[in-house]
Chains A and B, each alone.
Chain A
Amino acid sequence: MPGRAIGNSLLLILTLFIAGLWAFPIYWAIITSVKPEQDVIASTTFIPRVFDFSSYYFALFQTNLPTWYMNSVVTSVSVTVIVIVISMMCAYALSQIVFAGRRVLYFVILASFMVPSQALIISQFVLMQKLGLINTLSGIVLPQLIVPVVVIVYKQFFDSVPKELREAAKLDGCGEFQILFRLYLPLNWGITTALAIITYIMAWNAFMWPFLVSNSESTMTVTVGITQVDDAFGIKYARDMAVAILAAMPVAVAYLLFQKRVTQALMLSSGIKG
């Protein structure tokens, strides 16, 4: 069937072409960032004439980027650690311990999937104001701590751990906390890293809430801060691209290192077993 073979190669070429086109804006941003500013608008060259890293120097040493970076690291790491720990403990109790109100709690968490956090911005802002947390990193972190899907995914995984292991640990005199952290956590280490990476990426990328709650440059995260750069310095595209690339670097690296885990976590949180 030569027709089918030709069809296959054409499809292959088409697929590669579209994939290249899809990623092209990223490539274009990268090479723009290493061109001297005058080359950026002077010509459309797909490979830089000279490599000029002054835009990166500018981004790192003449803007607030280092501060925004620190803020992003502190807030996203805090969100990740706290979300994982409190969700895991709650999920363990829901999965393994019989207590009054267990079913109610589970259904409340399930129902909260429907609540769009974006609709809560006004009342959360009012609350943060009352707590005195506007323009603080805690104010950025707090409303991001409730991620119902993490609890649900953990519960499903804990449900499938064989009961015998738990019984054996109990006979050995382990308390629930010991069973959770010494037995269930190591058994579910894979899903823990998957959920942690995806939470970290989401927290790093969060825009709306950090944007609303921080209006001083000293408390902005990178994602919000980079939108301030062109306001202050006029449009300079090489600089803009360097700043954007630096802002995306921590999530891009995390994704490239942990591709499989990212995929797995996304599948699980959308309800498809990965």
Chain B
Amino acid sequence: MKTKTAARLLTLGLSLALGTAAAQSPVEVQFWTWYLSPKFDGYIKDTITAFEKANPNITVKWFDKQDTMVQDFISSVNMGSAPDVVNLNIDETSKAAQNSFLKPVDTLTPMSTLKSVYYPQTLANFTIGGKVYGYPWYGSLNEGVLLYNPDLMAKAGVKAPRNMTELLSMVKTIKDKTGAYAWVPALKDPGGASFLGYFFSDGLPIYDASGKAAFNGAAHVALLQKYVDLFKGGYFPEDALRKEAFQLATELYAQNKVAMIVGGPQALNRIKDTNPSLYAKTVVTTAPLGKAQVQTGTSMGLVIPNASKHPAEAAKLAAFFTNNANQIAFAKIVPIVPTTAAAKNDAYFKKVSTDPIAKATSLVGASGQYINPGFKAPGNSDDLYKNFSDNIEAALLGKKTPKAALDDSVTYWNANMKK
């Protein structure tokens, strides 16, 4: 009997010892970011160091991926060496989740915790089929702020527009009187369907109640017609069909060829680098909004692949990077919009400054609750977005009427949309 008891005690002791050793055995977590190196190396490395200090059994191996991020992710899953934490945006998260690549993060972090940290809308942005697939990270607003060149505005005799209707009404005046474009709208986006954002901003539906595409109503057609007329009249740059609007707008603004930029404060960073004197006189004010009076925007998230070998540790890292303190620290380096609910009360965003970047940051920094793409990416979105953008392009180039373009796209979407 004594021998049996001794054996049991020995077994228990060994099990406990092995269990403790297993719990404390070092785990390496692979962390992939997207286009953050080399500019933000310092911030990422410092945050990783702080995380490793707080979690001595976890080491983080960081890689910054750039244009091959998605391909690399897919290949790594196939090769059995998937990363543990991956930085994806809302659209890509949605696509990856629809294709069964991701683990729902609400199985790793309690829903109550997620709800207490992030704004409900920023969490909803990463919710697909009722499950949360990403920890919301830094965001940006599409409307954000309005930046303008006061000299061009004065020459045209106009004041900063208060809404999109006013902005569209001054497009002709500014071009005719100054020779500069008033503004560069997001007409065509290679990876998305940016023009749908204008429908959403004006309170026009993208889908009907049953989830079918419904962006071909009379109001949609009328709005597209306005843009088509202005494009055909030469009031928007031709290149807006070929280049990403933000890139083109910042390029032309720095050359005094565009009077206004509607968007995130990040545009100011580029202007500061390329034309410091124009940066100094740039005026920053609140963005003109559409009839729905809503901001739209997007954010990055940190997702955990199904193929991750260390999901629990990965969840810890993702939660750490996206917590309020670390997002605020990031916002102090670059004008991002934090996605944490506590950010709206942070003193950093209440500072008053005349510097354009500081002013823009304080105007948008605490607006994380408005980060909302406006519509969920449909299943099969790559094909559908291309079809939509092709139809918008056909309307702008006069190959189709706006009504025919929207009708054709809605028909295509409803025939090819996967739930």
Mutual binders A and B: no
A residues whose Cβ falls under 8 Å from a Cβ of B: none
